[in-house]
Amino acid sequence: MQDYDDQFKNLAKDAPFDQSPVMPNMLEGDTEIQFRCHRGVKCWNVCCGNIDISLTPYDILRLKNHFGIASGEFLQKYTVPYEIDKDGTPGVKLRAVEGGTACQFMVEEGCSVYQNRPTACRYYPVALLSIRRSDEFTDRQAYALVTEKTCLGHQEDRKLTIDQYRHEQGVDDYDEKGRGWRQLILKKKSAGPAIGKPPIISNQLFFMASYDLDRFRAFVISESFNRTYDIPVEQMAELVADDEKLMEFGYTFLKHVLFNEKALTEREGVYEARIDRLKAKAEQFRAEFEANRDKLEDEKYSGECKPGDLSCGGND
Ligand code: SF4
Ligand code: SF4
């Protein structure tokens, strides 16, 4: 079994560029780094001028509330979709300015959403590695240092540990609130190769519960959801009123629907009804398959004798 270090070495070995700015070391929180970013550095704003920033559900929650808009509007205006893995697990990144590479939130003074800037921006130039061994149930965090030549903060005269830097940048809270979601991603990745792509509906549910919180809220209070799941009234009231509670509930919901973890209580008869629906679908699929096969055979043997057709071929 590979341990963390082996996994990381492979990661560094497979890096596409020789001059990768990610130091090929897996660092612990007590590792000391030399770094300081401040308005006086010559490279001020350089890093925000060429962005590739993936967003977590908590990043989106904070930013949509920063602007006081619904999650759907935030996603449309400020993000672009991408696929996290080969199964098409949906992710979202910050959208750059029209026709450019700079962040839309960058202003001369720095970051216009500083209090609510995303996790990746807080971490930079440290990168978070979330790792889980196949024989472990929880992930653990390790770090890497990104040393891009354009970033002069590494030449500043200040040393501190990664943990101190994380604390200074306020990532503890972001990490804590993103943990459930990171575990879902790891779980998806370590689930092994799937046979074919997962159904589109799985990815749609993943997108809605992870990123489109206001649409997820409407789904959770819908009649069909409440016909299926037995959510206590007090909890439902919290989900309606509290974005963070709803986000955490989204992680639980995804565990239930994607990994069959029985994390939610289903109402009586729901399971049986689902099995009946699946049976009906399987029956419909079988009937369509047979009809199609007969049609194909008819086309293939039109004008010829079908194998086993005893009424054919009597003119010899
Ligand atoms: S959100 Fe702020 S810190 Fe992050 S890239 Fe944009 S301007 Fe820079
Ligand atoms: S020091 Fe690095 S992080 Fe700070 S502005 Fe310059 S490039 Fe960006």
**Among the listed residues 217, 56, 188, the one whose alpha carbon sits nearest the alpha carbon of residue 123:** 56
- Check: CB of residue 190 under 8 Å from CB of residue 132: yes
How far apart, in whole angstroms, are the C-alpha atoms of residue 97 and residue 95? 7
Tell me, using a 6 A CB cutoff, whether residue 55 lines ligand 1: no
Cα–Cα dist 158/145, whole Å: 15
pLDDT at 268: 85
What contacts 124, CB < 8 A, 6 or more positions away? Answer: 47, 146
Q: For residue 47, how far is its CA from the centre of ligand 2 (angstroms)?
A: 6
> Would you report the helix, strand and coil content of the chain in percent, each value rounded to 5?
50, 15, 40
Q: How far is the CA of 106 from the centre of ligand 1 (A)?
A: 6
Question: Domain spans of the chain?
Answer: 4-190
Q: Where are the alpha helices (DSSP H) in 191-232?
A: 200-210, 213-220, 223-228
Q: Which ligand is nearest to the CA of 41?
A: 2
Q: Are 217 and 240 in contact (CB under 8 A)?
A: yes
Q: For residue 2, what are the CA distances in angstroms to 16, 125, 182, 197? A: 22, 27, 21, 27
Instruction: Kindly report whether the peptide bond that precedes residue 90 is cis, defined as omega within 30 degrees of 0.
Output: no
> Is residue 117 classed as helix, strand or coil in its secondary structure?
coil
Nearest CA to ligand 2 atom 5: 44
Low-confidence ranges of the chain (pLDDT < 70): 1-24, 132-138, 191-198, 271, 274, 300-316
Residue 21, φ and ψ in degrees, nearest 5: -75, -10
Scanning the structure block, which residue is given the tokens 């390790």? 142
Q: Strand 106-107 to strand 110-111: parallel, antiparallel, or no bridges (unpaired)?
A: antiparallel
Task: Determine contact, residues 125/35, Cβ cutoff 8 Å.
Answer: yes
Distance 48 CA to ligand 1 centre (A): 5
Give the ligand with the smallest distance to the CA of 121.
1
Q: Whose CA is nearest to atom 6 of ligand 2?
A: 43
Identify the three-state secondary structure at position 90: strand
Tokens 């939130």 locate to: 105
User: Are the C-beta atoms of residues 165 and 32 closer than 8 Å to each other?
Assistant: no
Q: How far is the CA of 60 from the centre of ligand 1 (A)?
A: 13
